[in-house]
Amino acid sequence: MIPLSILDLAFINEGSSAAEALHRSADLAVHAESLGFRRFWLAEHHAMPGIASAATAVAIGYVAGATKTIRVGAGGIMLPNHAPLAVAEAFGTLESLYPGRIDLGLGRAPGSDQATMRALRRDPGSTDRFPQDVAELLHYFEKPQPGQAVFAVPGAGLDVPVWLLGSSLFSAHLAAIMGLPFAFASHFAPDLMEEALALYRQRFEPSERLQKPYAMLAVNAVIGETPDEAQHARTSLEQHFVALRRGRPTQFPAPQSVSWNEQEQALIDRTLRYTFTGTADLVAERISSFIKQHRPDELMIGAPLFSQAARRATLSEIAQTLMEREPAEVS
């Protein structure tokens, strides 16, 4: 079995707080660590009532402090929102505190709407500079050269793995020509997954950071005791997703029976194609088939469930059905 990792959005459940959401994330990371998952990633989203990880580096530090061996990282940091030097300093600090355990995934999406982008003081042209900003950020992790005027402290000379994330062909191509590992957001944007994966592998150029292509794909898993129970639990994600697409994001809702119109159902079916739902054996079978068909080097799994007990149980079921019983080596 390839390495399995966890993607967590620090969901703020309906009626709860951001503090409770972050405590649940740390609890889930401790559980994932005990089961042998390789990584635990959090993502940058802004002005989202249902997501508590806007200050992603801070959330990563909290989770890393609660765990001992699992890699903790960003999936990802939206680089156009930040100065590359500031990102290098933040993740250099995390790497200094938790050596050998920090990952930095970079995306070029805003992680927000237009009004929030302006509030973040984001330069409208920053997306166009993404390749240059990635190169600048990588430079800050190198050892300073004599006479270098600007360098990251902490950060310079530290080995922080940098990934490029994406849901299109752009980041796949950029990761390939820069010789970086690549993660595709197939858990919510699957349409270009196969094309992006093929492009990344075909165009990959070895670098000092990575000698051969390394691609991670993402799926969601919603496991219940019965198919009906799993389908009911899945309605939390569907409600959250449709509300976001309507431009009215909410806290992560409790599961309930929902009737979608034809357009909404088509959207759910297409975008959540790789949200595997059902009993543990069925979900394990579908994940195994996904791995055999698409051959990722690593798989990242989200457990978008309202109940913390159900999230923990989903990770336990995946570990029991898919992973070797010995904990995976952290790398």
Cα torsion at 121, 125, 127, 130 (round to 10°)? -100
Domain range summary for the chain, segments of one domain joined by +:
4-323
- The CA distance from 51 to 59, in Å, is 11
Among 28, 24, 191, 164, residue whose Cα is nearest residue 106: 164
Q: Which two tokens stand for residue 10?
A: 């620090």
Which whole-number Å values give the CA distances from 103 to 17, 40, 90, 94, 200, in the listed order?
27, 9, 12, 9, 20
pTM for this prediction:
0.94
Angle ∠(80,200,71) on CA atoms, nearest 5:
65
Cα torsion at 185, 188, 191, 195 (round to 10°)? 10
> Are the C-beta atoms of 162 and 180 separated by less than 8 Å?
yes
Per-residue pLDDT tens digits of the chain, which is 331 residues long = 899 999 999 999 999 999 999 999 999 999 999 999 999 999 999 999 999 999 999 999 999 999 999 999 999 999 999 999 999 999 999 999 999 999 999 999 865 667 777 777 667 677 789 999 999 999 999 999 888 899 999 999 999 999 999 999 999 999 999 999 999 999 999 999 999 999 999 999 999 999 999 999 999 999 999 999 999 999 999 999 999 989 899 999 999 998 999 999 999 999 999 999 999 999 999 999 999 999 999 999 999 999 999 999 999 999 999 985 333 333 3
Task: Supply the angle between the helices 193-203 and 169-178 in degrees, to the nearest 10.
Answer: 20
Contacts 24+ apart (CB under 8 A), 266-274: 267/242, 268/238, 268/241, 268/242, 270/190, 270/191, 271/188, 271/189, 271/190, 271/241, 272/187, 272/188, 272/220, 272/237, 272/238, 272/241, 273/190, 274/186, 274/187, 274/190, 274/218, 274/219, 274/220
pLDDT at residue 324 in the model: 57
Task: Supply the angle between the helices 18-35 and 308-322 in degrees, to the nearest 10.
Answer: 20
Q: Is the dihedral of CA 209, 215, 220, 225 positive or negative?
A: negative
- The CA distance from 215 to 137, in Å, is 21
**Domain 4-323, CATH:** 3.20.20.30
Report CA 75 to chain centroid distance, whole Å. 3
- The CA distance from 155 to 198, in Å, is 33
pLDDT at residue 151 in the model: 94
Is 45 exposed, middle or buried (CB count within 10 Å of its CB: 0-12, 13-18, 19+)?
Answer: buried
pLDDT at residue 127 in the model: 79
pLDDT at residue 112 in the model: 60
pLDDT at residue 116 in the model: 77
Give the count of beta carbons closer than 10 Å to the beta carbon of residue 47.
15
- The CA distance from 236 to 254, in Å, is 6
